[in-house]
Structure 1
Amino acid sequence: PKAHHRKIHSTNLVERFNKEIKRRTKVVGAFPNQGSVLRLLVLLAVDTNAKWLDRKYVSWEDLEQLNEVDDEFTENF
């Protein structure tokens, strides 16, 4: 939707997420195995996702309406 263009046009969220990964991995230093790195990244991604959902970065209602309009359009053709 047009209302989301300004929010998703920027890569600030991705850049912030990458900086957070870099910051957290520097604290640990060396990881004993790949599983430990994966656990850290998954926990970071879950935490970041929860923060973004709390802030209502994008309106899911608008996206659902857009999806309904898209479905109606494809049914007609």
Structure 2
Amino acid sequence: EAKDDLTAFAAFPARHWKKIQSTNPLERINREAERRTDVVQVFPNDDALLRLATAVLFELHDEWIAFPRRYLPEGSMDQIYPSEL
């Protein structure tokens, strides 16, 4: 029953497969959030934890915007989403 879900990556160009299967970006976010929470150790309430997690995500987003690196090549993305003329 899960065949379509497990093979969904095959709809993308073959050069994307390894990146799609990788969890490296997610692991980096988790490591950064863990590093920050280890410094605080005890949060006074749930909102404080949410503010810190949000700040970490905003910082990582800003880093991706300031230093634009493509995780997936732009040219090969055109194969998936061709320009409509």
Distance 1:47-1:64 versus aligned 2 partners, 3 A rule: farther
**Partner in structure 2 of residue 37 of structure 1:** 49
* Runs (5+) with no aligned partner, structure 2: 1-11
State the structure with bigger RCO (CA 8 A, min sep 6), 1 or 2: 1
Q: Deviations over 1:14-46 (max 9, x none)?
A: 112111111100101111111111111111112
**Partner in structure 2 of residue 18 of structure 1:** 30
Count of matched residue pairs: 70
Larger helix share, 1 or 2: 1
Across the aligned residues of Structure 1 and Structure 2, the Cα RMSD in angstroms comes to 2.5
Q: With structure 1 as the length reference, what TM-score do the two structures score?
A: 0.66
Percent identical across equivalent pairs?
36
* Runs (5+) with no aligned partner, structure 1: 72-77
